[in-house]
Amino acid sequence: QSALTQPPSASGSPGQSVTISCTGTSSDVGGYNFVSWYQQHPGKAPKRMIYEVSKRPSGVPDRFSGSKSGNTASLTVSGLQAEDEADYYCSSYAGSNTWVFGGGTKLTVL
Amino acid sequence: QVQLVQSGAEVKKPGASVKVSCKASGYTFTSYGITWVRQAPGQGLEWMGWISAYSGNTNYAQKLQGRVTMTTDTSTSTAYMELRSLRSDDTAVYYCARVDWHAFDIWGQGTMVTVSS
């Protein structure tokens, strides 16, 4: 149960797009279409932003999108806004009712 | 509305146990699983385990096997996480979350557990 690999930081100016990667193995990211992404502001509980690789829950702006290729999933935030500045975590189902998280990426809006 | 409300902060000595509760409301408790996630200060999220609120079946992260027990009380729609033989590196915010088809859609507010002598 090794953690998924995310870049520790990412940044972009308002209005720009930024993509955060999440690399796992064939036992987790590559093996299931059950990658989800969570946004966490300081001192707050995480919030689900993307599930099943690319689905957006009701209320999440369509500026947030997800994709996957092989063992790597990605979260893209388009039209960056100040309120998008937060920590982002990917998670993948890993079989037998187990899950694994990525190490997290701190997104800075310049 | 659908929500999970967790118990309050705890301070424990090394070697002690802690039991955190997570009370669900606004949905049919037994229709979803509950997962527990922790976050040490300044660190990332760590998946701890899962329990089916329907059957009581559990699955725990390997590193916590033998120290953690997750249970549910369907009469009160409450999930519990007990962690034993506490160490300083167990100091963290502990979250419960509802499992909706392999993602965690509703989160509790978090419970700070501090382990200190």
pLDDT digits (tens, 9 = 90+) for A10-55: 999 999 999 999 999 999 999 999 999 999 999 999 999 999 999 9
pLDDT tens track for A67-100? 999 999 999 999 999 999 999 999 999 999 999 9
pLDDT band, residue B4 (cuts 50/70/90): very high
Please classify residue B115 by burial: count the beta carbons closer than 10 Å to its beta carbon, then call 0-12 exposed, 13-18 middle and 19+ buried.
buried
Looking at every residue in chain B, the average pLDDT score rounds to 97
Q: Where are the beta strands (DSSP E) in B18-102?
A: 18-25, 33-39, 45-52, 58-60, 68-73, 78-83, 92-100
- CA B116 – CA B111 distance, rounded (Å): 16
Q: How far is C-alpha B95 from the geometric centre of its chain's CA atoms?
A: 5
Predicted pLDDT at B77: 98
Which residues make beta-bridge pairs with A4?
A102
Query: Which residues of B make CB contacts under 8 Å with A?
Result: 33, 35, 37, 44-47, 50, 52, 57, 59, 61-63, 95, 97, 100-105, 107-110
Looking at every residue in chain A, the average pLDDT score rounds to 97
| Contact between A51 and B103 using a beta-carbon 8 Å cutoff | yes
- CA A9 – CA A3 distance, rounded (Å): 16
- Which pair of tokens denotes residue A73? 């999933």
In this structure, the strands spanning A105-109 and A9-12 are parallel
Statement: residue A2 has pLDDT above 90: no
Q: How far is A81 from chain B (nearest CA, A)?
A: 23
- Which pair of tokens denotes residue B102? 């392999």
- Which pair of tokens denotes residue B28? 């049919």
Q: How far is B103 from chain A (nearest CA, A)?
A: 6
B107 to chain A: which residues are within 8 Å by CB?
45-47
Q: How far is C-alpha A5 from the geometric centre of its chain's CA atoms?
A: 11
| Contact between B59 and A96 using a beta-carbon 8 Å cutoff | yes
C-alpha pair distances (Å), A68 with each of A13, A48, A49, A65: 25, 17, 15, 11
- CA B104 – CA B45 distance, rounded (Å): 13
B45 to chain A: which residues are within 8 Å by CB?
38, 40, 46, 89, 91, 101, 104
B109 to chain A: which residues are within 8 Å by CB?
45
- CA B83 – CA B38 distance, rounded (Å): 12
Contact assessment for residue A8 and residue A65, using Cβ atoms and an 8 Å cutoff: no
